[in-house]
Amino acid sequence: MANVNIKINGQDLCVDEGLTVLQAAQQAGIGIPTLCYHADLALDGVCRVCSVEVKGQRALCASCVYPVSEGMEVLTHSPKVRNARKVIVELMLANHPQDCLICARNQNCELQAMARELGVQDVRFTGDRKDIPTDSSSTSVVRDPDKCILCGRCVRTCQDIQSVGALHFSGRGWDTEIVAGLGGDLADAVCVSCGQCINRCPTGALKGNDPSAKIWDAIYDPAKHVIVQTAPAVRASIGEEFGMEPGSRVTRKMVTALRMLGFDKVFDTDFTADLTIMEEGSELIQRVTKGGVLPQITSCSPGWINFIEYYYPELLPHLSSCKSPQQMFGTLTKTYYAEKMGIDPKDIVSVSIMPCVAKKFECDRPEMYSSGYKDVDYVLTTREAAAMMKEAGIDLPSLEDGEYDAPFGITTGAGAIFGNTGGVMEAALRTAYELITGEALDDVNITAVRGTDGIREATIQVGALPVKAAVAHGLATAREVLEGIKSGRYKDYAFIEIMCCPGGCIGGGGQPQPTNEEIRKKRIEGIYAEDGAMELRKSHENPAIKAIYEEFLGEPLSHKSHDLLHTTYTPRSQRTVKSEKPTKVQID
Amino acid sequence: MESCNSNCCVQCDAEVVAIVDKCGRTECNLIPILHQLQRSMGYVSNEAMEKVAAELGISVAQVHGTATFYSLIYTKPHGKNVIRLCDSPPCHLQGSGAIRDAITKAIGIEPGETTSDGNFTFETVSCMGLCGVAPAIMINDDVYGNLTVDAIPSILEKYFACCCKEGC
């Protein structure tokens, strides 16, 4: 690409001609504040906070969308620019509730940080408030439109990354709001509950539906036996909430912290990730040998399940019937574990810590009561779990390591990599290879399915059998794969992994904010490092898995497994409006 | 004017499909589709928006966002006759405030409201490009300019009586 010569704040720069002024400034180490801009999203240029002076232009230009050109002279922090930015932020604050002290995003809010950065210490304008009620109808995402600054990042996220479009602008001028679906409750809209909108919201307008008050009650109720499971992805991200680098592995410190919080047992979802591999792998072998529906698609990502139920119900037979590791865990807690420990399952409160807000929806599904009780009672996101730790005065980084409790604490690296896009595929291949060929894998790192490309396709030689596999993450790419299945593009594929969120669970809607490609890659590295450090790296070698089959389940796909570990899916309609019988009113 | 026979509104979905077929099944025809729907149904219902979204393969939130952006597209039922009063500065200076009061006196509703019999919706709008004959109103597609307070009752009179053949 050709270069152009530009001047930013008097400094001569030679930059790629395709860059925006914002990118060129960033390369030169000059920070320009942004709000509606997000590295994961298409450019919009609506908030104007990134305005700069460009010589020869009458008005200030939004640097996030303004391309560099030969001879351009830019001032990023002139008095005119600084004054304009301040006014823009003051105008936003004039309509903003300014209840920072009691906001979920306090100290992690981009608007708050910007006001501080720009030195806004006084709001000279008196603005109106819309006083729109908070929408907590969804079990996953809570919307507080009063805190919305209309940057549209959630709209672009939902449309462009997830191809769902649950959120959109409505009305115009002062009446503009972000609404869900037809303007009603989020729970009534076609929303897959993934929470990617939360991850990209700059303010407290979007957050998870937090059950921590009920969990505190359970912990302090002596009659309750409160157990907690921790998802694979959480261990490489919860440290960020305590100021650690993305990807920092804090698995054992987290165990200590959860014990300090007062959970009676601390277990690892990796255990049921291993169990998922046994069940899902056996299901795949059965489908291949007995002529079932192929390709088989993974079923552990609940946002993805919602997506296929809404948009491609005709492809539901492709889904593995396996429950997600979270739900397998919940069921076993209130059956196998309760039996083994002699605890009445009604006294068990089963909590999970997930990188995900769709898991909150999943645990409420009517299909998820196979123990006879609600299999998983409450789902905390990574963010909410960290908030509980802080409330209890726990400083995670300074803790000693702890060990997970038996029996659900013995896990493998295969379970850990469930947190990454491609991880379920890799874990399944490690086991399938050895079970089918009877030989040990030379290298357990199956790098062909790793990486962050939207769709990755690979043929893996399993003995004499070439297995074609594909991996997709993010629902817009999932849609491409499903269209490919419909068109026959994937007809000779055996297995497809689909994760709802970019990067897989490590990029989930319950993860620490902010998110971007760099942060997600660091978390992915953290998870692979966790796998590499494990003694056991293949699910079928997990002795606790062998034990649970011997003692309780029998064998993979046994009758008992089917009752407890497998599920069914519900086709959903995108038509949510009950027939209104519209009144015809003629106006001409 | 067509009759307001209630049978013509039962098949909302079929009507949407017919209109989408006529306008073209692509996202860029969304606005003409919404216009046609309004012409045929009187307003764009939630049900119709969902069907439009399904037909065009776009999200219902996007259809709703487009429909609510434009003040001339109605997402709620409105009166049989829509009175639009300009409240931009030229009309204002020529006395649109008094015209507003006269209309309210004649039909008993404020701007933004619909009469209980469903005959009139009264709204204020921004400039309609009729500044030369300010103050001005439009009733449905008819323009009335150089208005005086005294002229209002006689203008409204012909809209009180139903003019469809069934005499509803």
Under an 8 A CB cutoff, do A189 and B61 touch? yes
Residues of A with CB under 8 A from a CB of B: 159, 164-172, 179-183, 189-190, 574-577, 579-588
**What's the pLDDT tens digit per position in B6-32?**
333 446 899 999 999 999 999 999 999
pLDDT reported for residue A388: 98
Please check whether residue B41 touches A, CB under 8 A.
Answer: yes
Contact map slice: B 71-110 vs A, CB within 8 A: 77-82
Assess if CATH 2.40.10.340 describes domain A130-208: no
| Chain B closest-CA separation from residue A147 CA (Å) | 20
Please state, in angstroms and as integers, the Cα–Cα distance from residue A73 to each residue in A52, A56, A499, following that order.
10, 9, 45
Domain B81-160 fold: Glutaredoxin (3.40.30)
Residue of A nearest to B82 (CA): A587
**Catalytic residue numbers of A?**
280, 283, 300, 320, 359, 362, 367, 505
Question: From its phi and psi, is residue A61 left (phi > 0), alpha (psi between -120 and 50) or beta?
Answer: beta
Q: Which residues of A touch B49 (CB under 8 A)?
A: 182
Lowest-confidence pick of A185-189, B66-70, B75-79: B75-79
pLDDT, mean of residues A106-112: 96
* Rg, chain B, Cα only: 18
pLDDT class of A485 with cuts at 50, 70, 90: very high
The full set of domain ranges for chain B reads 8-69, 81-160
Under an 8 A CB cutoff, do A179 and B64 touch? yes
pLDDT reported for residue A581: 54
pLDDT class of A420 with cuts at 50, 70, 90: very high
Q: Which residues of B touch A171 (CB under 8 A)?
A: 68-69
Average pLDDT value for chain A: 96
pLDDT reported for residue B149: 96
pTM over 0.90: yes
* Beta partners for residue A350, in sequence order: A227
The H-or-E segment that residue A497 falls in is strand A495-499
Does residue B159 surpass a pLDDT of 50?
A: yes
Which residues belong to CATH 3.40.50.1780 in chain A?
Answer: 212-565
Under an 8 A CB cutoff, do A574 and B1 touch? no
Does residue A17 surpass a pLDDT of 90?
A: yes
pLDDT reported for residue B72: 85
> How far is C-alpha B122 from the chain's CA centre?
10
**What's the pLDDT tens digit per position in A213-237?**
999 999 999 999 999 999 999 999 9
> How far is C-alpha A146 from the chain's CA centre?
24
Q: Which residues of B touch A585 (CB under 8 A)?
A: 4, 42-43, 77-80, 118
Assess if CATH 3.40.50.1780 describes domain A212-565: yes
pLDDT reported for residue A579: 59
| Chain B closest-CA separation from residue A327 CA (Å) | 30
pLDDT reported for residue B167: 47
Q: Which residues of B touch A157 (CB under 8 A)?
A: none
Does residue A250 surpass a pLDDT of 70?
A: yes
Under an 8 A CB cutoff, do A576 and B45 touch? no
Residue of B nearest to A584 (CA): B41
Under an 8 A CB cutoff, do B69 and A166 touch? no
Q: What is the DSSP string of A45-90?
A: --S-TTEEEETT-SS-EETTTPBP-TT-EEESS-HHHHHHHHHHHH
Under an 8 A CB cutoff, do A181 and B141 touch? no
pLDDT reported for residue A463: 85
Domain A3-92 fold: Ubiquitin-like (UB roll) (3.10.20)
pLDDT class of B166 with cuts at 50, 70, 90: low
Percent of chain B with pLDDT over 90: 76
Does residue B168 surpass a pLDDT of 50?
A: no
**CB atoms near residue A163 (< 10 Å):** 17
Under an 8 A CB cutoff, do B45 and A166 touch? no
Tokens of A36: 């509606």
Closest partner residue to B59 (CB to CB) among A164, A585, A587 is A164
* ipTM metric: 0.92
Name residue, tokens 């009672």. Answer: A377
Q: Which residues of A touch B35 (CB under 8 A)?
A: none
pLDDT reported for residue B136: 96
**Structure letter (DSSP) for residue B9:** G
